[in-house]
Amino acid sequence: MKILAIGDQFIRAAVMETGLEELQAAGFRIVVREWKHANIEELQRDNLRIEQGGSASVELPPELYADLASFDALIVQFAPVPAAVIESAKALKFIAVLRSGTENIDLKAASARNIAVLNTPGRNARAVAEFALGLMLAETRNIARTHEALRQGRWLKDFPNSGTGIPELYRKTVGLVGFGQVARLLSGYLTAFGCQVIVHDPWYRGDVAGILSTDLDTLLRRSDIVSVHARYSEETHGLIGEAQFNLMKRTAILVNTARSGLVDQHALVKALRERRIQGAAIDVFDEEPIPGEDGILRLDNITLTPHLAGSTKDAFENSPRLFASNLLSWIREKSTLPIVNGVPLESLL
Protein backbone atom coordinates (compact mmCIF):
# COMPACT_ATOMS: atom_id res chain seq x y z
CA MET A 1 0.00 0.00 0.00
CA LYS A 2 1.31 3.40 -1.01
CA ILE A 3 0.82 6.36 1.36
CA LEU A 4 1.51 10.05 0.74
CA ALA A 5 2.30 12.05 3.90
CA ILE A 6 2.36 15.86 3.84
CA GLY A 7 4.42 17.50 6.59
CA ASP A 8 4.51 21.19 7.46
CA GLN A 9 6.28 23.79 9.60
CA PHE A 10 5.33 21.94 12.80
CA ILE A 11 5.81 18.34 11.65
CA ARG A 12 8.76 18.60 9.30
CA ALA A 13 9.40 15.95 6.66
CA ALA A 14 12.17 14.31 8.67
CA VAL A 15 9.94 14.07 11.76
CA MET A 16 7.13 12.62 9.64
CA GLU A 17 9.43 9.99 8.18
CA THR A 18 10.70 8.95 11.61
CA GLY A 19 7.21 8.83 13.07
CA LEU A 20 5.90 6.58 10.28
CA GLU A 21 8.81 4.12 10.36
CA GLU A 22 6.61 1.50 12.00
CA LEU A 23 4.27 1.57 9.01
CA GLN A 24 7.22 1.34 6.63
CA ALA A 25 8.48 -1.72 8.52
CA ALA A 26 5.01 -3.29 8.25
CA GLY A 27 5.14 -3.14 4.45
CA PHE A 28 3.61 0.22 3.65
CA ARG A 29 5.40 2.38 1.10
CA ILE A 30 5.65 5.91 2.51
CA VAL A 31 6.35 9.02 0.43
CA VAL A 32 6.85 12.20 2.47
CA ARG A 33 6.55 15.77 1.17
CA GLU A 34 6.36 19.09 2.97
CA TRP A 35 4.02 22.08 2.73
CA LYS A 36 6.53 24.90 3.14
CA HIS A 37 6.02 28.27 4.80
CA ALA A 38 8.50 31.02 5.59
CA ASN A 39 7.63 30.74 9.29
CA ILE A 40 5.13 29.31 11.75
CA GLU A 41 3.05 32.51 11.69
CA GLU A 42 2.35 32.04 7.97
CA LEU A 43 1.23 28.45 8.55
CA GLN A 44 -1.04 29.51 11.40
CA ARG A 45 -2.52 32.24 9.24
CA ASP A 46 -3.32 29.69 6.51
CA ASN A 47 -4.71 27.28 9.09
CA LEU A 48 -7.04 29.97 10.43
CA ARG A 49 -8.25 30.75 6.91
CA ILE A 50 -9.03 27.06 6.40
CA GLU A 51 -10.76 26.83 9.77
CA GLN A 52 -12.97 29.80 8.96
CA GLY A 53 -13.42 29.37 5.21
CA GLY A 54 -13.18 25.64 4.59
CA SER A 55 -10.71 23.32 2.90
CA ALA A 56 -10.87 25.14 -0.47
CA SER A 57 -9.90 28.53 0.97
CA VAL A 58 -6.13 27.87 0.73
CA GLU A 59 -4.53 26.36 -2.35
CA LEU A 60 -1.47 24.14 -2.01
CA PRO A 61 1.46 24.10 -4.43
CA PRO A 62 0.33 21.72 -7.20
CA GLU A 63 3.40 19.50 -6.92
CA LEU A 64 2.31 18.27 -3.50
CA TYR A 65 -0.71 16.46 -4.95
CA ALA A 66 0.42 16.12 -8.58
CA ASP A 67 0.38 12.29 -8.64
CA LEU A 68 -2.16 11.66 -5.88
CA ALA A 69 -4.06 9.24 -8.13
CA SER A 70 -1.28 6.70 -7.60
CA PHE A 71 -1.63 6.67 -3.79
CA ASP A 72 -3.90 4.52 -1.64
CA ALA A 73 -3.89 6.78 1.40
CA LEU A 74 -3.07 10.35 2.45
CA ILE A 75 -1.73 11.63 5.77
CA VAL A 76 -1.77 15.36 6.59
CA GLN A 77 -1.71 17.65 9.59
CA PHE A 78 -2.73 21.15 8.46
CA ALA A 79 -2.55 20.71 4.66
CA PRO A 80 -6.02 21.24 3.13
CA VAL A 81 -7.73 18.43 1.22
CA PRO A 82 -10.61 20.04 -0.72
CA ALA A 83 -13.15 18.32 -2.98
CA ALA A 84 -11.05 18.91 -6.13
CA VAL A 85 -8.09 17.08 -4.60
CA ILE A 86 -10.31 14.23 -3.43
CA GLU A 87 -11.79 13.86 -6.92
CA SER A 88 -8.29 13.42 -8.35
CA ALA A 89 -7.46 10.66 -5.86
CA LYS A 90 -8.94 7.69 -7.69
CA ALA A 91 -7.43 4.96 -5.49
CA LEU A 92 -7.68 6.66 -2.09
CA LYS A 93 -9.00 4.45 0.74
CA PHE A 94 -8.45 6.80 3.67
CA ILE A 95 -7.31 10.29 4.65
CA ALA A 96 -5.66 10.62 8.06
CA VAL A 97 -5.34 13.90 9.96
CA LEU A 98 -2.59 14.04 12.60
CA ARG A 99 -4.69 16.06 15.04
CA SER A 100 -8.19 16.03 16.43
CA GLY A 101 -9.79 18.69 14.20
CA THR A 102 -10.64 17.85 10.58
CA GLU A 103 -11.60 21.32 9.30
CA ASN A 104 -8.99 21.01 6.54
CA ILE A 105 -10.75 18.01 4.97
CA ASP A 106 -13.87 18.18 2.79
CA LEU A 107 -15.71 15.46 4.70
CA LYS A 108 -18.72 15.54 2.40
CA ALA A 109 -16.59 14.93 -0.69
CA ALA A 110 -14.63 12.16 1.04
CA SER A 111 -17.80 10.41 2.16
CA ALA A 112 -19.29 10.65 -1.33
CA ARG A 113 -16.22 8.83 -2.65
CA ASN A 114 -16.42 6.24 0.15
CA ILE A 115 -13.08 7.42 1.59
CA ALA A 116 -12.67 7.02 5.36
CA VAL A 117 -11.40 10.09 7.23
CA LEU A 118 -9.43 9.38 10.40
CA ASN A 119 -8.20 11.80 13.03
CA THR A 120 -5.67 11.48 15.86
CA PRO A 121 -7.51 12.43 19.04
CA GLY A 122 -5.45 13.22 22.08
CA ARG A 123 -2.18 13.77 20.27
CA ASN A 124 -1.60 17.11 22.04
CA ALA A 125 -4.14 16.72 24.82
CA ARG A 126 -1.56 16.90 27.60
CA ALA A 127 0.09 19.98 26.08
CA VAL A 128 -3.23 21.86 25.88
CA ALA A 129 -4.40 20.74 29.32
CA GLU A 130 -1.16 21.95 30.93
CA PHE A 131 -1.39 25.25 29.06
CA ALA A 132 -5.03 25.82 30.06
CA LEU A 133 -4.09 25.32 33.70
CA GLY A 134 -1.20 27.75 33.22
CA LEU A 135 -3.56 30.37 31.79
CA MET A 136 -5.91 30.00 34.74
CA LEU A 137 -3.04 30.66 37.14
CA ALA A 138 -1.62 33.49 35.03
CA GLU A 139 -4.92 35.37 34.88
CA THR A 140 -6.13 34.79 38.43
CA ARG A 141 -2.73 35.53 40.01
CA ASN A 142 -1.77 38.35 37.59
CA ILE A 143 1.48 36.64 36.58
CA ALA A 144 1.75 37.96 33.02
CA ARG A 145 0.70 41.53 33.77
CA THR A 146 3.13 41.88 36.70
CA HIS A 147 5.94 40.49 34.57
CA GLU A 148 5.27 43.12 31.92
CA ALA A 149 4.94 45.87 34.54
CA LEU A 150 8.33 45.00 36.04
CA ARG A 151 9.90 45.14 32.58
CA GLN A 152 8.51 48.67 32.32
CA GLY A 153 9.93 49.62 35.74
CA ARG A 154 6.62 49.47 37.63
CA TRP A 155 6.15 47.60 40.94
CA LEU A 156 2.50 46.78 40.24
CA LYS A 157 0.20 45.82 43.12
CA ASP A 158 -3.18 47.02 41.89
CA PHE A 159 -5.05 44.75 39.46
CA PRO A 160 -8.48 44.42 37.83
CA ASN A 161 -9.31 41.65 40.30
CA SER A 162 -7.96 43.45 43.38
CA GLY A 163 -11.38 44.78 44.38
CA THR A 164 -12.81 41.31 44.92
CA GLY A 165 -9.65 39.82 46.36
CA ILE A 166 -7.14 37.89 44.25
CA PRO A 167 -8.37 34.27 44.31
CA GLU A 168 -6.67 30.92 44.64
CA LEU A 169 -7.82 27.90 42.64
CA TYR A 170 -8.46 25.92 45.81
CA ARG A 171 -12.19 25.24 46.36
CA LYS A 172 -13.16 27.20 43.25
CA THR A 173 -15.69 25.78 40.78
CA VAL A 174 -14.24 25.25 37.31
CA GLY A 175 -16.66 24.57 34.45
CA LEU A 176 -15.32 22.65 31.46
CA VAL A 177 -17.29 23.21 28.26
CA GLY A 178 -16.58 19.98 26.39
CA PHE A 179 -15.20 16.84 27.99
CA GLY A 180 -12.82 15.32 25.45
CA GLN A 181 -9.31 14.15 26.18
CA VAL A 182 -7.98 17.64 26.95
CA ALA A 183 -10.72 18.39 29.45
CA ARG A 184 -10.46 14.97 31.09
CA LEU A 185 -6.73 15.47 31.70
CA LEU A 186 -7.35 19.01 32.92
CA SER A 187 -10.04 17.84 35.33
CA GLY A 188 -7.44 15.64 37.03
CA TYR A 189 -5.04 18.56 37.40
CA LEU A 190 -7.81 20.76 38.80
CA THR A 191 -8.96 18.12 41.25
CA ALA A 192 -5.39 17.97 42.56
CA PHE A 193 -5.62 21.73 43.15
CA GLY A 194 -8.75 21.20 45.23
CA CYS A 195 -11.20 22.55 42.66
CA GLN A 196 -14.78 21.41 42.15
CA VAL A 197 -15.06 20.46 38.47
CA ILE A 198 -18.35 20.54 36.57
CA VAL A 199 -18.75 19.76 32.87
CA HIS A 200 -21.09 20.31 29.97
CA ASP A 201 -20.80 17.97 26.99
CA PRO A 202 -24.02 16.61 25.43
CA TRP A 203 -22.00 14.28 23.19
CA TYR A 204 -19.83 12.67 25.86
CA ARG A 205 -20.91 9.13 26.77
CA GLY A 206 -18.14 8.09 29.16
CA ASP A 207 -17.90 7.99 32.93
CA VAL A 208 -17.87 11.31 34.79
CA ALA A 209 -17.77 9.81 38.27
CA GLY A 210 -17.18 12.47 40.90
CA ILE A 211 -17.82 15.29 38.42
CA LEU A 212 -21.16 17.01 37.98
CA SER A 213 -22.41 16.92 34.38
CA THR A 214 -24.90 19.71 33.74
CA ASP A 215 -26.43 21.99 31.11
CA LEU A 216 -24.46 24.94 29.78
CA ASP A 217 -26.51 27.66 31.49
CA THR A 218 -26.09 26.04 34.91
CA LEU A 219 -22.36 25.63 34.35
CA LEU A 220 -21.99 29.28 33.42
CA ARG A 221 -23.93 30.49 36.45
CA ARG A 222 -22.01 28.32 38.93
CA SER A 223 -18.43 28.50 37.66
CA ASP A 224 -15.67 30.74 38.94
CA ILE A 225 -13.64 29.76 35.87
CA VAL A 226 -15.10 28.63 32.54
CA SER A 227 -12.66 26.78 30.28
CA VAL A 228 -13.68 26.01 26.70
CA HIS A 229 -12.74 22.63 25.19
CA ALA A 230 -15.63 21.84 22.82
CA ARG A 231 -15.16 20.58 19.28
CA TYR A 232 -15.67 23.40 16.75
CA SER A 233 -18.49 22.90 14.22
CA GLU A 234 -21.41 24.77 12.68
CA GLU A 235 -23.47 23.77 15.71
CA THR A 236 -20.92 25.09 18.24
CA HIS A 237 -19.98 28.29 16.41
CA GLY A 238 -20.50 31.20 18.80
CA LEU A 239 -21.33 28.81 21.64
CA ILE A 240 -20.26 31.46 24.16
CA GLY A 241 -21.70 34.86 23.27
CA GLU A 242 -23.30 37.88 24.91
CA ALA A 243 -26.20 35.92 26.41
CA GLN A 244 -23.78 33.44 27.96
CA PHE A 245 -21.52 36.17 29.38
CA ASN A 246 -24.57 37.69 31.03
CA LEU A 247 -25.13 34.41 32.90
CA MET A 248 -21.61 34.26 34.32
CA LYS A 249 -20.52 35.59 37.70
CA ARG A 250 -19.02 39.07 37.64
CA THR A 251 -15.97 37.54 39.35
CA ALA A 252 -15.61 34.75 36.75
CA ILE A 253 -12.90 34.34 34.14
CA LEU A 254 -13.11 32.67 30.74
CA VAL A 255 -10.29 30.55 29.29
CA ASN A 256 -10.21 29.47 25.64
CA THR A 257 -7.46 27.20 24.29
CA ALA A 258 -9.72 25.41 21.78
CA ARG A 259 -11.02 27.32 18.74
CA SER A 260 -11.70 31.04 18.37
CA GLY A 261 -15.06 30.40 16.70
CA LEU A 262 -16.45 28.85 19.86
CA VAL A 263 -16.43 32.25 21.56
CA ASP A 264 -17.90 35.45 20.09
CA GLN A 265 -14.76 37.59 20.30
CA HIS A 266 -16.64 40.89 19.98
CA ALA A 267 -19.00 39.89 22.80
CA LEU A 268 -15.98 38.85 24.90
CA VAL A 269 -14.28 42.22 24.45
CA LYS A 270 -17.53 43.98 25.36
CA ALA A 271 -18.03 41.83 28.48
CA LEU A 272 -14.48 42.50 29.65
CA ARG A 273 -14.59 46.22 28.90
CA GLU A 274 -17.87 46.58 30.81
CA ARG A 275 -16.56 44.35 33.65
CA ARG A 276 -19.47 41.98 32.97
CA ILE A 277 -16.94 39.26 33.81
CA GLN A 278 -13.72 39.76 35.73
CA GLY A 279 -11.16 38.45 33.26
CA ALA A 280 -10.18 36.11 30.48
CA ALA A 281 -7.19 34.16 29.19
CA ILE A 282 -7.23 33.51 25.45
CA ASP A 283 -4.90 31.58 23.14
CA VAL A 284 -6.98 31.58 19.91
CA PHE A 285 -8.32 34.54 17.93
CA ASP A 286 -10.55 35.38 14.97
CA GLU A 287 -7.55 36.84 13.16
CA GLU A 288 -3.98 35.69 13.76
CA PRO A 289 -1.69 37.50 14.35
CA ILE A 290 -4.00 39.93 16.13
CA PRO A 291 -4.29 43.24 14.20
CA GLY A 292 -2.76 46.16 16.08
CA GLU A 293 -6.06 48.05 16.12
CA ASP A 294 -8.04 45.17 17.68
CA GLY A 295 -9.76 46.25 20.89
CA ILE A 296 -8.76 43.03 22.62
CA LEU A 297 -5.23 44.45 22.89
CA ARG A 298 -6.48 47.47 24.86
CA LEU A 299 -7.98 45.52 27.75
CA ASP A 300 -6.32 45.36 31.16
CA ASN A 301 -8.20 42.28 32.40
CA ILE A 302 -7.08 39.66 29.90
CA THR A 303 -4.08 37.38 29.40
CA LEU A 304 -3.20 36.81 25.73
CA THR A 305 -0.94 34.16 24.18
CA PRO A 306 -0.23 33.65 20.45
CA HIS A 307 -1.87 30.26 19.79
CA LEU A 308 0.68 28.23 21.75
CA ALA A 309 -1.38 25.72 23.73
CA GLY A 310 -0.81 22.59 21.65
CA SER A 311 2.54 23.54 20.18
CA THR A 312 5.03 21.39 22.05
CA LYS A 313 7.90 19.41 20.60
CA ASP A 314 6.53 16.28 22.26
CA ALA A 315 3.04 16.66 20.79
CA PHE A 316 4.18 17.20 17.20
CA GLU A 317 6.83 14.49 17.23
CA ASN A 318 4.42 12.01 18.75
CA SER A 319 1.57 12.60 16.26
CA PRO A 320 2.80 10.45 13.32
CA ARG A 321 3.95 7.75 15.74
CA LEU A 322 0.57 7.73 17.51
CA PHE A 323 -1.32 7.45 14.23
CA ALA A 324 0.91 4.62 13.00
CA SER A 325 0.37 2.76 16.25
CA ASN A 326 -3.41 3.21 16.02
CA LEU A 327 -3.51 1.94 12.44
CA LEU A 328 -1.32 -1.11 13.08
CA SER A 329 -3.30 -1.95 16.21
CA TRP A 330 -6.46 -1.96 14.10
CA ILE A 331 -4.85 -4.15 11.44
CA ARG A 332 -3.44 -6.68 13.91
CA GLU A 333 -6.04 -6.68 16.66
CA LYS A 334 -9.12 -5.13 15.02
CA SER A 335 -9.19 -2.37 17.62
CA THR A 336 -11.39 0.67 17.02
CA LEU A 337 -10.19 3.33 14.58
CA PRO A 338 -11.08 7.04 15.06
CA ILE A 339 -13.09 7.39 11.82
CA VAL A 340 -14.91 10.73 11.83
CA ASN A 341 -17.15 10.40 8.74
CA GLY A 342 -18.60 6.93 9.35
CA VAL A 343 -17.09 5.32 6.25
CA PRO A 344 -15.84 1.82 7.19
CA LEU A 345 -12.24 1.00 6.37
CA GLU A 346 -11.58 -2.37 4.80
CA SER A 347 -8.45 -4.51 5.22
CA LEU A 348 -5.29 -2.73 4.06
CA LEU A 349 -2.70 -5.51 3.96
Active-site positions?
259, 288, 307
Query: By the 8 A CB rule, do 278 and 252 touch?
Result: yes
Q: Give CA–CA dist 124/131, Å, rounded.
A: 11
In contact, 94 and 111? CB cutoff 8 Å: no
C-alpha dist (Å) from residue 50 to 10, 160, 253: 17, 36, 29
Give Cβ neighbours of residue 221 (< 8 Å, ≥ 6 apart): 247, 248, 249
| 346 CB-near residues (< 8 Å, 6+ apart) | 93
Closest by CA position to 173, among listed 193, 153, 143, 203: 193
Q: What is the CA radius of gyration of the chain?
A: 21
Q: At what angle do helices 313-333 and 125-140 cross, to 10 degrees?
A: 140
Query: Sign of dihedral through CA atoms 78, 75, 127, 318?
Result: negative
Q: Is the dihedral of CA 320, 344, 182, 56 positive or negative?
A: positive
